[in-house]
Structure 1
Amino acid sequence: MMLFLPEMMAEAQERYEILRQIHDNGPVGRHLLAMQTKLSENTVRKHIEKMEESGLLFSRPSGMSLTTKGESLIEPLAPYFQKSPSLSDMENKLQKILSMEKVIVVRGDLDDTPAVKNEISQEAAFVLLRLLRDNFVIAVGGGPIMAGMAEALPSLHMKVDVVPARGGFGNRVEYLPNFVAARMAEKLGGEYHIIHIPDGLSPELFLRVKKELPQFREIDRLLSRTDILVTGVDEPEDQSKWLEIPEDVRRRLIKEKAVGEALGLYADIHGKILYRLYNAGISREDISSIPHVLVAAGGSHKGPAILAMARAGIRGTLITDEGAGKTIIQGSAGFSL
């Protein structure tokens, strides 16, 4: 049996996906191919040049189509490059366990391979693009995966509004919800709106500040008509905002075994909300009225957090990796309600 280096297999996978997309949708242009395959236009161009040289496809003004030789490869190569049954089986199991509308699993474990973060971000960007329409309002959270998703989006010219799903703490400015919202709006060609209040204020101070800042009327108006929410999931102690929580609350959360956090909500493995940060963004009560909710998180250590927040009501389409998926499936029986 011929052995392949990982980069050779990755290249073969990309070329097969290009062939499959042209087979299904041809004639098709390079820009659309890049969106459909989640590859850069430069990568698509290089693959197309090689495959044209090999006689697998040809170009016309209307787009690219497969030659007879290219068509003849689709079916024989499908067992090697289409999503494996084991991955599809994991998605189905996770969908039932988490009561998600849909689950998308990428290969690998972010805990072992940091590059898996990019795969999750790109997949989240692709899901977002399929849902996006002019005049939509998008609320987006912060963190590395959200920032990567914004960068993975193509440059478009859409009439959309992007708002942070919450305020935020953190030393990495590029991971804050305000920054991610601004970058996403820039890539999509839309407008962005900033939340000037951080999470973590007392309820009294939060309401007073919100009342005294008239620009929050516009933020509240946009948040009330959010069409797509994109958020991550964290472990409570993994984030810088953990230190902004009062010490007595931190002790209580540890004692009561908080394992997950999303949108300022802290929950135990059964989905019981143990604490909530007051913030000017999306609240738990808002989620049920949002048509599309995307949750993106990965790494085997995030499994319990994803499970906890799904049980707490943070559900929709989950984009995750095999590492988190295995942890959730293996632990769900032991963590049953």
Structure 2
Amino acid sequence: MKNLLKWQQQLVPDLLAQMKVRYSILQSIRLNEPVGRRLLAQMLDMTERVLRSEVDFLKSHQLIEYQTAGMGLTNSGRELLLGLEDYMRETSGLYETEEQLGGVLGISKTIIVSGDSDKIPLIKDEIGKACASILEGLLEKKNIITVTGGTTMNSVAEALEHIDVSGKEILFIPARGGVGGKVIHQANSIAETMAENTGSGNRALYMPDVVSDELRSILLKEPSINATLDIICSADIVLHGIGEALKMAERRNTVEKDMDTLIKGKAVGEAFGYYFDDEGSIVHKVSTIGLQLEDLPAIKHIIAVAGGKSKAKAIRAYMKNAPPTSILITDEGAAIEILKGE
């Protein structure tokens, strides 16, 4: 296959370039259908004139159809898109990029989905599907899975509806308390959705993500909280997101003193309540009840999900602290930006 691709690139490079353009158009239509031509052109950074000729070609070959609300794929278009997936990943160099990214970050495995979720938010759903597929392959007979919150993690939760968990016993449990923002994006809600979509069990952790040191010491004396924490720390699998430092601080309603610390310390990324600078040094840590950074090395499988060019610095900063067995599932937007910085 690699030799064939090399020969094609040498003999008909324009053909491969054209395929990539049309594949991207089909993929973007699938993610956003029904979608209008103007919006699609903006997403793909193409002129409407160029896009018009391409979609006319795709329509003439019955791969897309025009609807009142916009363009959509035909069944033939969906079949073609699915059939070309591995081939296009190879021609676009995604497999090589995955290996390169894993080496740069010092982790065991990276999975990169096409696109940039900053430009097309529905790319998060593709990240979610990729995470669900990886998780399916890691499941054993009995599993405790601890999860964090976030919009990408919510996409993972929705994607779990389509995996096969027959014969598997799974307990989903939040890694920590609520951070702020929409309830649907909280760890408790995501753990519950994952349990519902897989017919599994879940256990809640109803408390704020940030507590005072005094309150933390009191809560840790509660037998029920300690029992939940024991389950969290004995997890077989951790599914977690990675946040941009200042955005996460705002969601937590961080006090002015701590916000100044983050700004002066040039914090760029956040995970598990720890804030990191570009070099991966810990700038600040919030007082929390739940999974801690030092708990991670004892956990068998750790899967991080985060995408978008804007998350590149955050991902790179956190990964300097991640166990080397970690798996990262991201998108091209983040991956290319991370590699640019090397």
TM bucket (normalised to shorter chain) is: 0.7 to 0.9
Q: 2:200 aligns to what? A: 190
- Whether the aligned pair in 1 keeps the contact of 2:274 and 2:286 (CA below 8 Å) is yes
146-155 or 91-100: which moved more? 146-155
Q: Provide closer, same or farther for how the CA distance between residues 7 and 309 of structure 1 changes in structure 2, counting only shifts above 3 A.
A: closer
Query: Structure 1 residue 260: deviation in Å?
Result: 0.2
Please state if 1:326 is matched with 2:315.
no
Per the alignment, in what secondary structure is the counterpart of residue 149 of structure 2?
coil
TM-score by length of 2: 0.73
Per the alignment, in what secondary structure is the counterpart of residue 101 of structure 2?
helix
Query: Per-residue CA shift, 1:118-139, capped at 9, x if unaligned?
Result: 1111101111111112321000
Query: Per-residue CA shift, 1:248-296, capped at 9, x if unaligned?
Result: 0101110110000011110101111111122222101100000100000
1:160 is matched with which residue: 153, 170, 188? 170
Counterparts of 2:250 and 2:186 in 1: how far apart (Å)? 11
Question: How many equivalent residue pairs?
Answer: 273
Q: 1:129 aligns to what? A: 136
RMSD: 2.7
1:258 partner letter: A
Q: 2:258 aligns to what? A: 249
Query: Structure 1 residue 78: deviation in Å?
Result: 9.1
Query: Per-residue CA shift, 1:297-337, capped at 9, x if unaligned?
Result: 000010000000001226500000111011111113xxxxx
- Whether the aligned pair in 1 keeps the contact of 2:173 and 2:202 (CA below 8 Å) is yes
Q: 1:142 aligns to what? A: 149
Q: 1:68 aligns to what? A: none
166-175 or 80-89: which moved more? 80-89
Query: Per-residue CA shift, 1:73-100, capped at 9, x if unaligned?
Result: x9xx798445336111211111111111
Query: Structure 1 residue 224: deviation in Å?
Result: 2.5
Please state if 1:269 is matched with 2:282.
no
2:114 is matched with which residue: 107, 117, 126? 107
Q: Provide closer, same or farther for how the CA distance between residues 320 and 218 of structure 1 changes in structure 2, counting only shifts above 3 A.
A: same
Please state if 1:284 is matched with 2:264.
no
Counterparts of 1:321 and 1:78 in 2: how far apart (Å)? 15
Q: 1:220 aligns to what? A: 229
Q: Provide closer, same or farther for how the CA distance between residues 267 and 81 of structure 1 changes in structure 2, counting only shifts above 3 A.
A: closer
Counterparts of 1:330 and 1:126 in 2: how far apart (Å)? 28
Per the alignment, in what secondary structure is the counterpart of residue 121 of structure 1?
helix
- Whether the aligned pair in 2 keeps the contact of 1:170 and 1:240 (CA below 8 Å) is no
Q: Provide closer, same or farther for how the CA distance between residues 79 and 253 of structure 1 changes in structure 2, counting only shifts above 3 A.
A: closer
2:234 partner letter: R
Gapped regions of structure 2 (runs ≥ 5)? 1-14, 31-74
Q: 1:93 aligns to what? A: 100
- Whether the aligned pair in 1 keeps the contact of 2:280 and 2:321 (CA below 8 Å) is yes
1:317 is matched with which residue: 315, 318, 327? 327
TM-score by length of 1: 0.74
- Whether the aligned pair in 2 keeps the contact of 1:169 and 1:198 (CA below 8 Å) is yes
Counterparts of 1:7 and 1:86 in 2: how far apart (Å)? 15
Query: Per-residue CA shift, 1:134-154, capped at 9, x if unaligned?
Result: 321000111111111111113
- Whether the aligned pair in 1 keeps the contact of 2:177 and 2:289 (CA below 8 Å) is yes
1:295 partner letter: A
- Whether the aligned pair in 1 keeps the contact of 2:246 and 2:262 (CA below 8 Å) is no
- Whether the aligned pair in 2 keeps the contact of 1:297 and 1:306 (CA below 8 Å) is yes
Gapped regions of structure 1 (runs ≥ 5)? 14-45, 52-73, 333-337
Counterparts of 2:23 and 2:96 in 1: how far apart (Å)? 24
1:92 partner letter: E
Taking only the aligned residue pairs, the percentage that are identical comes to 33
